[in-house]
Amino acid sequence: MNLGPHAAFIVGSYAAAIAIVAGLIAWIAIDHRAQKRRLETLEARGVTRRSERAS
Amino acid sequence: MPIVDLANPSRFLALTARLMPWLIGATVLAFAVGLVMVKGAPDDYQQGATVKIMFIHVPSAWLAMGIWALMAIATFGTLVWRHPLADVAAKAAAPIGAAFTALCLITGMLWGRPMWGTYWVWDARLTSVLVLFLMYLGVIALWRTVEDPSRAARAAAILTLVGALNLPIIKWSVDWWNTLHQPASVVRLAGPAIHPTILMPLLAMAVAFLLLMVTLHLAAMRNEILRRRVRTLMLMQAQAAPGSAS
């Protein structure tokens, strides 16, 4: 695929898109793991919500 | 399942867990199809191959505005019904909206340099999108500044509604003022002004970006619900501790 004389701008745009989307996915995945770990730690200490105690 | 049941965070989490693999698969497939169509799209007769930047710039711009509109709709749930899932939806959407607005600005600059001879001009379209980006950062900062989620939600809701006034300014800035940015060429009353060989890949990429946004938003909402559960449990733990005031 010939991108012509402005190839750097085109490649730069797609690289920016990949970097930003990858950053969003990584942020969400890391945050998910962190929240799950904190929740599990609290539950392991016996701290649970009333709805969970009732069930 | 009645739609109102989805407003229950536990049911929402269960539904999200079931939907997520399908959404991820659909997003990957949509991007694969979209990128194949982009590869096969012809160069523009004036802009040459730089038209390929449009296939990420335009969907990013649509999402930048669409996510703020989604946040504005969610604020009604916060202000009128005080529903926590509405806060969660708005809060989870803000960083995603900021990221797509940043992508829109970056790709716009990289497209502008070879076509206009400059990365940036302070024209109405570019400036109003920059204002949108700054407002996203403002909402994110507000959410992080106020510790109590329900108080933060009300403050962020007001800022979101005020910021929604910027959306029509962005959309019609190219008609109201003399701008370097081109006028609307897809969403306009007279129909798209783009040839179908370029329009179809653009729409395919728009669908892929929309699916990506929905997937990321649901995942971020799930994280926010878990964060609030952690906060509740930590408050309960602090109250139960010996020597606490209660």
pLDDT in tens, B177-224: 888 787 777 777 777 778 889 999 999 999 999 999 999 999 999 999
| CB-based contact B107 A24, cutoff 8 Å | no
Residue B10: predicted pLDDT: 85
A42 neighbourhood in chain B, CB within 8 Å: 230, 233-234, 237
- The phi and psi torsions of B48 (rounded to 5 degrees) equal 65, -145
Interface test with B, best of A2, A13, A47 (most B CBs within 10 A): A13
Residue B5: predicted pLDDT: 60
Q: How many CB pairs under 8 A join A and B?
A: 97
| CB-based contact A47 B237, cutoff 8 Å | yes
**Average pLDDT in chain B:** 90
Nearest to A32 among B95, B223, B236 (CB): B223
Long-range contacts of B138-141 (CB under 8 A, 24+ apart): B138/B163, B139/B71, B139/B94, B139/B163, B140/B94, B140/B95, B140/B98
Of chain A, the percentage scoring pLDDT greater than 70 comes to 87
Q: What is the mean pLDDT of residues B56-73?
A: 96
d(CA B16, CA B10): 10
Residue B107: predicted pLDDT: 97
ipTM above 0.90, yes or no: no
Residue B77: predicted pLDDT: 85
Residue B6: predicted pLDDT: 62
On the question of pLDDT at B173 being above 70, the answer is yes
Helices (H), B80-165: 84-116, 124-145, 149-163
Residue B172: predicted pLDDT: 87
Query: Mind listing the pLDDT tens digit for each residue in B5-34?
Result: 667 888 889 999 999 999 999 999 999 999
Residue A43: predicted pLDDT: 87
On the question of pLDDT at A45 being above 90, the answer is no
Q: What is the mean pLDDT of residues B97-108?
A: 98
| CB-based contact A47 B227, cutoff 8 Å | no
On the question of pLDDT at B148 being above 90, the answer is no
A46 neighbourhood in chain B, CB within 8 Å: none
Q: What is the mean pLDDT of residues A8-26?
A: 97
**A16 against B233, higher pLDDT:** A16
Among all residues of chain B, which has the CA nearest to that of A36? B226
Long-range contacts of A34-40 (CB under 8 A, 24+ apart): A35/B223, A35/B226, A35/B227, A35/B230, A36/B226, A38/B230, A39/B226, A39/B229, A39/B230, A39/B233
> Residues 54-93, chain B: which have Cβ within 8 Å of A?
56-57, 60
On the question of pLDDT at A14 being above 60, the answer is yes
Residue B82: predicted pLDDT: 80
On the question of pLDDT at A36 being above 80, the answer is yes
| CB-based contact A16 B48, cutoff 8 Å | no
B13 neighbourhood in chain A, CB within 8 Å: none
Domains of chain B, residue spans: 3-223
Nearest to B230 among A10, A38, A45 (CB): A38
CA-based nearest distance B126→chain A, Å: 17
| CB-based contact A16 B103, cutoff 8 Å | yes
On the question of pLDDT at B127 being above 80, the answer is yes
On the question of pLDDT at A53 being above 80, the answer is no
Q: What is the mean pLDDT of residues B58-83?
A: 92
Among all residues of chain A, which has the CA nearest to that of B209? A21
